[in-house]
Amino acid sequence: MKLYIMRHSETDWNKEHRIQGRTDIHLNLNGMKIAALAGDGMKDIPIDVCFSSPLVRAQETAALVVARNRHFIEGGSRIILDDRLMEIAFGEWEGQDGSEGTMGPNRELFREFFVGLGGTYMPVGAEDPKNVIRRSQDFLNDICAREDLKDKTVLIVTHGFTLRCLLSRFYEDKDDYFHKPGVLYNCQTAIAEHDAAGQLVLTNPGRLFYDESYARNYYKGSLT
């Protein structure tokens, strides 16, 4: 099995540094362009199956990518929605400017929740970050155990924090991993596959299948 784990493409709230979480935002025009370019860059990869978060920005990204993949289309596959790939809920903070230097006294609380995995603070209406880790790992365990997928190439489209939770599987010191900058660009894709011993290993932590000049540098290390 080979996994391509992609962050969704750009929305206006990404561009404005606003915290999205479960707020259901469509891709903007640049986001559509980036997803299409990523799809062009992946068109020769024989994608057999595509799983997506049900949030619309992920669904739209998945649709634009697989629409350019002849193997996926000719195989008669469909995008499979899975709630376990949904983004974390930020509750009362959704819609706020999450860029560095903003949020005033809430900035350290935000970091404690997001980077400290909710150890001592939980905003009203938010999901416990540790639950995102549990559900994302449950998703990975499920698909890796499926006999019908063991020789398949799988595209997974999700969100910044949920993607980090998926990738935490591959890092020995998980607590330290979440303290490091690492939110991928929009449509940047981590690649994992089973090795000769049958272990799922990370072979590329973040590949771009489109021209990097279209990526936004402010996504690196962003908390949104």
Rounded CA gap, 27 and 10, in Å? Answer: 6
Residue 102: what pLDDT?
Answer: 64
Euclidean distance between the first and the last CA atom of the chain, given in angstroms as a whole number: 31
* Summary mean pLDDT of the chain: 89
DSSP result, 148-178: GGTT-EEEEEE-HHHHHHHHGGG-S-HHHHT
How many Cβ atoms sit within 10 Å of the Cβ of residue 101? 7
Question: In the predicted model, is pLDDT for residue 198 greater than 50?
Answer: yes
Residue 124: what pLDDT?
Answer: 92
Residue 105: what pLDDT?
Answer: 63
pLDDT digits (tens, 9 = 90+) for 107-126: 778 777 877 775 678 889 99
Question: In the predicted model, is pLDDT for residue 164 greater than 80?
Answer: yes
Residue 52: what pLDDT?
Answer: 98
Question: Burial, 76: exposed, middle or buried (Cβ in 10 Å; 0-12, 13-18, 19+)?
Answer: exposed
Rounded CA gap, 202 and 200, in Å? Answer: 7
Over residues 142-171, mean pLDDT:
95
The correct answer on CATH 2.30.110.10 for the domain covering 2-219 is no
Residue 219: what pLDDT?
Answer: 44
* 50 SS3 class: strand
Q: What does the domain layout of the chain look like in residue ranges?
A: 2-219
Residue 135: what pLDDT?
Answer: 97
Instruction: Write down the pTM of the prediction.
Output: 0.92
Alpha helices in 47-159 (DSSP H): 56-66, 70-74, 106-114, 129-144
Q: Which residues contact 96 (CB under 8 A, 6 or more apart)?
A: 18, 19, 102, 103, 106
Residue 118: what pLDDT?
Answer: 59
Residue 149: what pLDDT?
Answer: 96
Residue 68: what pLDDT?
Answer: 97
Rounded CA gap, 180 and 24, in Å? Answer: 27
Residue 63: what pLDDT?
Answer: 98
Residue 223: what pLDDT?
Answer: 40
Over residues 79-89, mean pLDDT:
97
Residue 97: what pLDDT?
Answer: 85
